[in-house]
Amino acid sequence: MSLFEFLITFFILFALELIYFKIADKYSIIDHPNHRSSHTKVTIRGGGIIFCVSLLLGSLYFGWQYGYFLSGLFLISMISFIDDIKTISNRIRISFHLVAVALLFYQLNIYNLSFYWIVLGFIFVIGTINAINFMDGINGITGGFGLVTLLTLYFINQHIILFTREIYLILPILSLLVFNFFNFRIKAKCFAGDVGSVSLAFIILFFLLQLIIKTNNVTYLLLLLIYGLDTVTTIGFRVLRKENIFEAHRGHFYQFLANEKKIPHLAIAALYTFIQAITNIILLNFLTRSVVSLIVLIIITTLAFILIRLYCEGAHKLFNLK
């Protein structure tokens, strides 16, 4: 992509986001705060639709490739956008998710693997998509995490190993720059919505799985570390408290920092983004193919994160002690 194409693409995406704001405002596609929200203002929902749009429209100009992935992206983005407008049943939503992931796996030739790897793959991808969706609760956190993750993948693609077509990384990066302009601020102009967080998760997972398959190195899963730690420990504590883990909640650590400690949203988002960026730098400098090393590192970081949560939140809150 030339500099001219880069700038033109950015301004086109910027204009498309502004057009969406007009549409969302006209048809009241807005987010109303409730008891689970970490914000207090009525804000446009679904600004993250630009992530999907950037790849679908960009592919028409720069060349249609990865057709099954793009088809899956369209399906999962469409059902998520509908869910942003009007709540749909879990059965319908999960059906679309399964079809989208099935298309993703076909694109990646995962069906050549053993059956149990395919099953584990579905569980991992569906779980990760929902985890990233649940983490989208405060200004800047989705845009910050998405940007640092895709920039890291772009660096790997450029300087370590070529695993995907460059333009397919540039397009969502540009869309994130546009989205962050409107979201990474004290009073956000828009939220990503399910269409944004779900489609971004789908995009990140496509590139991440491409990289892992190309290198046969699962250590790259650490690119999801910070979100993984918050999500997994939150689920663990909710299980220990005998709560229904499928019900909406405000039990994430970032939500505790925002709602209980009243730390500014952008400070929390910047902290999560910074920690993930440092993790990525360490990963790229001390990359290992050892699964054992990966497991040991995950165990150590998980224990450290649990200790941090215990110190900040207290055992009585986390374990619901009387």
Residue 174 contacts residue 13 (beta carbons within 8 Å) = yes
**Mapping DSSP to helix (H, G, I), strand (E, B) and coil, where does residue 40 land?**
coil
At 117, list the tokens.
């790897």
The neighbour count for residue 186, using CB atoms within 10 Å, is 9
Sequence-distant (6+) residues with CB within 8 A of 54 are 13, 171, 172, 174, 175
Which one, of 87, 97, 76, lies nearest residue 32 by Cα? 87
Q: List residues bridging with 44 in a β-sheet.
A: 30, 190
Banded model confidence at residue 33, pLDDT cuts 50, 70, 90: low
Which residue would you say has higher pLDDT here, 27 or 18? 18
Q: Provide the H-helix boundaries in 32-140.
A: 49-62, 67-85, 90-107, 115-134
Answer left, alpha or beta for residue 242, where phi above 0 means left and psi between -120 and 50 means alpha. Answer: left
pLDDT surpassing 80 at residue 321: no
Which amino acid appears at position 223 of this protein?
L
- With beta carbons less than 8 A apart as the criterion, state whether 63 and 276 touch: no
Assess contact for 92 and 79: CB atoms under 8 A.
yes
Q: For tokens 């050549």, name the residue.
A: 112
Question: How confident is the model at residue 40, as a pLDDT?
Answer: 52
Q: How many CB atoms lie within 10 A of CB 82?
A: 16
Reported confidence tier of residue 155, pLDDT bands at 50, 70, 90: very high
- Burial (0-12, 13-18, 19+ Cβ within 10 Å), 173: middle
Instruction: Please say if the pLDDT value at position 21 is more than 80.
Output: yes
**How far, in Å, CA of 37 to CA of 22, rounded?**
24
Neighbouring residues of 234: CB distance < 8 A, sequence distance ≥ 6 = 251, 252, 253
pLDDT at 286: 82
The reported pLDDT for the residue numbered 281 is 94
Does the structure show a pLDDT above 90 at 34?
A: no
Task: Based on DSSP, count helices (H) and strands (E) in the chain, helices before strands.
Answer: 13, 2
| 252: containing domain | 3-319
pLDDT higher than threshold 80 for residue 202: yes
Q: What is the residue-averaged pLDDT of the chain?
A: 92
Handedness of CA 243, 245, 250, 252 (dihedral sign): positive
CA end-to-end span of the chain, whole Å? 60
Predicted confidence (pLDDT) at residue 35 exceeds the cutoff of 80: no
**Average of pLDDT values for 228-232?**
95
What is the number of structural domains in the chain? 1
Diameter of the chain by CA atoms? 63
Contact of 265 with 184, CB cutoff 8 Å: no
